Chain A
Amino acid sequence: MAGNLVQGALFTVMVVRAGMLRDAAFEEELQQQVGRSPRFFLNAPVVLDLKDSEGFTTEEAFLDAGEALRRHTLALVGVQNALPEQISAAAAAGLAVFAPNSTQPSRRAAQAAAAPVAAAPAAMTQSARPPARLVTEPVRSGTQIYARGTDLIVTAAVSAGAELVADGHIHVYGALRGRALAGAGGDVEARIFCSRLEAELVSIAGRYLVSEQLPPEQRGSAVHIALVDDQLTVTKN
């Protein structure tokens, strides 16, 4: 069955710049982000970006970094942009070494990396944003769809009792009757677009409005929703 061992798969991995681990403000910010959407950070894989980072030449340094991330439920799985002496220390700590500038050694990721990337959130930069997740069937009550690290596009209706979650934007070309949570990883630039707003809840980067807080005159309209001065703002298209 050894043949089964080799299988390709595409994963989204968060990248944390190593320098930030030494920044006291980072812990707090990380805590806040994780606190806002704990489900999405639970055991989420992290790659440490060593670009321009001094040190990290001992096994202990990586074990400490792993420990620090573990406190926030994140799992350190590897490093990128490592110098030769950092590579051996990382390997000793049981970490994978990813090719420079790419945590996803695949053709699709390489293409995505070549595309311009929107302003990266301060605390965490997504590695090359994977292609948007496209859903063409109605999203039924009781189901949840999560677009990790990317945008979510739904070309059908989203039922009451269904939930859309994306780290990027959410587009619904149909009635949005369920819940939509964009920028779930903390991206305050994320937006929600829908051709008919009948949502139970909309949220961007942890700020949310429930159905009764949505402006009644916007119900049933095509709208986009953004965070403006930390306020969720609904605008008719």
Chain B
Amino acid sequence: MAKVVAITSGKGGVGKTTTAAAFAAGLALRGHKTVVIDFDVGLRNLDLVMGCERRVVFDFINVINGDANLNQALIKDKRNDNLYIFPTSQTRDKDALKREGVERVLEELKQQFDFIICDSPAGIEHGAVTALYFADAAIIVTNPEVSSVRDSDRIIGILASRSRRAERNEPPVETNLLLTRYDPARVAKGEMLTVEDVQEILSVPLLGVIPESESVLRASNTGTPVAFDEDSPAGRAYLDAVARLLGEQREMRFVQPERRGFFRVLFGRA
């Protein structure tokens, strides 16, 4: 049974698109046929992060409007046969995502794919709510700071009350927390919230902690999902998180203890 996974946050710039690309790549590497859809109409940048911006001909809105069929719009990844990108329009306004149209396209995608990863726009208006509405699972991308946690909390509330599953009284959307841009050194200095703080406030299961890492910027500049970069700590943390989404147990890496350890004092940053 195909699974629709929404990548969302409320607050902007926390790493949703990076996460959507990494999860799609990670799931594809694990042999699951996966498509990643850009719901961020008007600000499309998933195709950049996936490195396929020059191959976009038709987009999500064209398919919704019936101007193109699905297979004309889907872009097959050159690195992995299981991975497809479904770009969005750069020119339309965000209200172009009509709920019925989105539903029809998702139903069609479910026939072909194991995982449908939706990269949601920031905020809690139309595009974001549409992506959440059809979700079976959601990954709440959160940075270890107060405003990001607050917005994630709001989004979790919206998921619980305004998803299609909630409306139909079906089992709730499976909601997971992904803490990104986690910088253990700054956490130790008390400049950022700890993993425990965030978990305590949001009380949803923790799917993973992605460290702040320069390799992320490098990856997006070269159009490579960071999960394809095995040398990157962020890439490895994303692969762990993908494994957890698939139900495997993995130890949390890249999370230093909150307290200032002896070695950390000696060497500054771990």
Contact = CB atoms under 8 A, between A and B. Distances in A.
Interface residues of B, number: 12
B47 interface: no
Contacts of B126: none
Nearest to B204: A138
A78 to B, nearest CB: 32
A97 B160 CA distance: 39
Contact of B154 (A137, A142, A175): A142
Nearest to B156: A140
Interface string B141-164: 000000000110110111011000
Contacts of A161: 150, 153-154
A143 interface: yes
A175 B200 CA distance: 10
Contacts, number: 34
B201 interface: yes
A156 interface: yes
Size band of the A side of the interface? 10 to 19
B203 A141 contact: no
> Interface majority SS on B: helix, strand, loop or mixed?
helix
Interface in A139-190: 139-143, 156-157, 159-162, 175, 177
Contact of B157 (A143, A157, A175): A143
Contacts of A141: 150-151, 153-154, 157
Contacts of A137: 160
Contact of B153 (A140, A156, A175): A140
A196 to B, nearest CB: 10
A159 B203 CA distance: 10
Nearest to B150: A141
15 contacts: A137-B160, A140-B160, A141-B151, A141-B153, A142-B153, A142-B157, A142-B158, A143-B161, A156-B203, A157-B201, A159-B153, A160-B150, A160-B153, A161-B153, A161-B154
Interface of A: 137-143, 156-157, 159-162, 175, 177
